[in-house]
Amino acid sequence: MGGVREVDAVVVGAGFAGLYMLHRLRAGGWSAQGFEAGGGVGGTWYWNRYPGARCDVESVEYSYKFDEDLQQEWEWAERYASQPEILRYLEHVADRFDLRRDIQFDTRVESAHVDERANRWVVRTDDGATTSARFVIMATGCLSAANLPSLPGLDRFAGDVLHTGQWPHEQVDFTGRRVGVVGTGSSGIQSIPVIAEQAEALVVFQRTPNYSVPARNRRLDPDEVAAVKAGYAELREANQLMPTGFGSRTPMPVKPALEADEDERRREFEARWERGGFGFLAAFLDLTLDRAANDTAAEFVRDKIRATVKDPLLADRLAPTQVIGCKRLCIDTGYFETYNQAHVRLVDINVSPIVEVTGTGVRTSEGDISLDCLVFATGFDAMTGALLRMDIRGVGGQPLQEAWAAGPRTYLGLGVPGFPNLFVITGPGSPSVLTNMVVSIEHHVEWITDLLEHVRTTGVDRIEATSDAADEWVAYVNAIAGMTLFPTCNSWYLGANVPGKPRIFMPLPGFPPYVEHCAHVAANGYKGFALTASTG
């Protein structure tokens, strides 16, 4: 087993966050060890290999900005990059900056315990090794702990069971097979049309219908890419000022929805529907703030569903009723059209609940459905799952599970009281999943890098979010979220998709004020963190 390896920092995860963190640690002269459960880099883009997987932020924006040469040399092929293309990009980044030598792959961090006397973290991995580090940086991702419902009888099913977030590396061929898909979030909505192209029969088990806007994905025109690259600095700068950290090339909203008359509203929605993508929700200033305004957008999409799906009863079942944008808006290619195919069937499990999984399929209250394969597109234990599945213990041996029993409690989403020298990249309480993740990740990595530099120059060696700062921060996040329509439905933002999970709105809406806040904290001696120098 060897001795204990000593490093300045352990970085858990080798996706967008872990790779950039390792790069910055190395540049700062810190020794670092990365651990990654997967067999390669990529994080979410390593695991989510399901058919149709594609990012819903445009490729030229969903990429690092920290290195000018990198952003100039990489050529994105499509408006929305596919999973294989993003994975190739991250592999390129890992090679270009020679990051793999600091990452141990196929290695899961099982525990991280603070050793208060030594002021270090003791990190144990599933290869039996122990690493001692001054700092632990969790780059574990917001959507990495798969949520697999515990359906009775699932272990008896003789066919294949797949989860979109843990997709096999080998090609899965659905040709001639009867496939069931459970879940109609982004992963289901992206994979269903592609699976339908192959499968002999496709049955979609829907619990909540979802809004989806066409992606209008296309090959990128080289002239368009050249223009983006010529103005990359300005584009990145403009995106920093967007509430979501992306989308500054989309026309900005100019008025509240109800200040426009019906014709004007329809024209605006129609133009954005034709353009495709998330810009639909930016048609008016108040779509995520005001219920009546939101209703106008929701009804527009319901009309589109009714116009697309030929069977009116089916269209009705596919038409969502919750606030649009409350669950993350989906971006699709041919999703609603898929239901016009004779071999595709929708089972509304509110009407016909799943009773159990049998050896040969799924039994609903209305009868048996024979299947060869079950695909779970049931999402993730989001934002906290990856952290809470590790055994993380802070001051006094307190487990993180206990500290967060009533919901995640962080300061800025970066620090956790009772867990000194541990930082979370895009943790709960930061804008994270409500933004372009790459933008939020770069911001956090750079903020942590500056903090470590401060530590080095001041001789401080223990940094811990104070309890008061965390309490105030959690209240602030809830107050801001409460001013929006986000908390009005059962979304994973609230933890509502995982039975028994505390219901707390986890991400903070609004990127620019958050960035300002973090800068203010740093400029004021890391206000809200207790910084101490050890006596040893």
* Comparison of 187 and 426: residue with beta carbon closer to ligand N01: 187
For ligand N01, the binding residues in 193-252 under the rule CB under 6 A are 207-208
* Comparison of 32 and 142: residue with beta carbon closer to ligand N01: 142
* Comparison of 51 and 528: residue with beta carbon closer to ligand N01: 51
Q: CB–CB of 428/413 below 8 Å?
A: yes
Q: Is 364 in the site for ligand N01 (CB under 6 A)?
A: no
Q: How far is the CB of 130 from ligand N01 (least distance, A)?
A: 34
- Strands 130-138 and 422-424, how do they pair? parallel
Which region, judged by CB under 6 A, interacts with ligand N01, from 105-113, 271-279, 365-373, 490-498? 490-498
Distance CA 216, CA 56 (A): 11
Take residue 428 and report the two structure tokens written for it: 């709960």
Query: How big is the chain by its Cα radius of gyration, in Å?
Result: 23
3-class SS string, 497-516: CCCCCCCCCCCCCCHHHHHH
Q: Is 125 in the site for ligand N01 (CB under 6 A)?
A: no
Which region, judged by CB under 6 A, interacts with ligand N01, from 181-189, 258-266, 298-306, 359-367? 181-189
Task: Determine the residue type at 440.
Answer: S
Q: How many residues bind ligand N01 (CB under 6 A)?
A: 27
Q: How far is the CB of 43 from ligand N01 (least distance, A)?
A: 12
With the C-alpha atoms ordered 17, 22, 27, 28, is the resulting torsion angle positive or negative? Answer: positive
Q: Is 153 in the site for ligand N01 (CB under 6 A)?
A: no
Distances (CA, A) of 261 to 254, 266, 270: 14, 9, 14
Q: How far is the CB of 3 from ligand N01 (least distance, A)?
A: 40
Q: Is 384 in the site for ligand N01 (CB under 6 A)?
A: no
Distance CA 287, CA 267 (A): 16
* Comparison of 133 and 441: residue with beta carbon closer to ligand N01: 441
Out of 7, 123, 377, 438, the residue judged to bind ligand N01 by CB under 6 A: 377
Residues 6 or more apart whose CB falls under 8 angstroms from that of 399 comprise 391, 392, 393
Q: How far is the CB of 462 from ligand N01 (least distance, A)?
A: 35
Distance CA 42, CA 88 (A): 9
Q: How far is the CB of 208 from ligand N01 (least distance, A)?
A: 3
Distances (CA, A) of 46 to 55, 159, 356, 513: 13, 24, 31, 32
Distances (CA, A) of 500 to 62, 382, 406, 496, 503: 33, 13, 11, 8, 9
- 529: phi then psi, degrees, rounded to nearest 5: -110, 140
Q: How far is the CB of 427 from ligand N01 (least distance, A)?
A: 16
Q: CB–CB of 82/54 below 8 Å?
A: yes
Q: How far is the CB of 380 from ligand N01 (least distance, A)?
A: 6
Distance CA 155, CA 19 (A): 37
Out of 49, 328, 409, 443, the residue judged to bind ligand N01 by CB under 6 A: 328
Q: How far is the CB of 382 from ligand N01 (least distance, A)?
A: 7
* Comparison of 408 and 495: residue with beta carbon closer to ligand N01: 495
Q: List, in sequence order, every beta strand (DSSP E) within 41-199.
A: 103-104, 109-115, 120-125, 130-138, 160-163, 178-182
Q: Is 378 in the site for ligand N01 (CB under 6 A)?
A: yes
Q: CB–CB of 463/415 below 8 Å?
A: yes
Instruction: Give the total residue count for the chain.
Output: 536
* Comparison of 182 and 283: residue with beta carbon closer to ligand N01: 182
Q: Is 379 in the site for ligand N01 (CB under 6 A)?
A: yes
- Give the residue nearest to ligand N01 (CB): 185
Distance CA 353, CA 388 (A): 30
Distance CA 485, CA 275 (A): 25
Q: Is 186 in the site for ligand N01 (CB under 6 A)?
A: yes
Binding mask 48-67 for ligand N01 (x = CB under 6 A): ------xxx-----------
* Comparison of 207 and 454: residue with beta carbon closer to ligand N01: 207
Q: How far is the CB of 23 from ligand N01 (least distance, A)?
A: 24
* Comparison of 40 and 379: residue with beta carbon closer to ligand N01: 379
Q: Is 149 in the site for ligand N01 (CB under 6 A)?
A: yes
Out of 19, 143, 357, 477, the residue judged to bind ligand N01 by CB under 6 A: 143
Take residue 527 and report the two structure tokens written for it: 């206000």
- 92: phi then psi, degrees, rounded to nearest 5: -60, -45
Q: How far is the CB of 497 from ligand N01 (least distance, A)?
A: 4
Which region, judged by CB under 6 A, interacts with ligand N01, from 9-17, 194-202, 239-247, 373-381? 373-381
Q: Is 187 in the site for ligand N01 (CB under 6 A)?
A: yes
Q: With CA atoms as reference, report the closest residue to 301 among 333, 269, 263.
A: 269
* Comparison of 182 and 474: residue with beta carbon closer to ligand N01: 182
Which region, judged by CB under 6 A, interacts with ligand N01, from 179-187, 253-261, 311-319, 420-428? 179-187
Binding mask 413-442 for ligand N01 (x = CB under 6 A): --------------------x---------
Neighbours of 96 (CB within 10 A): 14
Q: Which residues make up the interface to ligand N01 (CB under 6 A)? A: 54-56, 143, 149, 164, 182-188, 190, 207-208, 328, 331, 349, 377-380, 433, 490, 492, 497
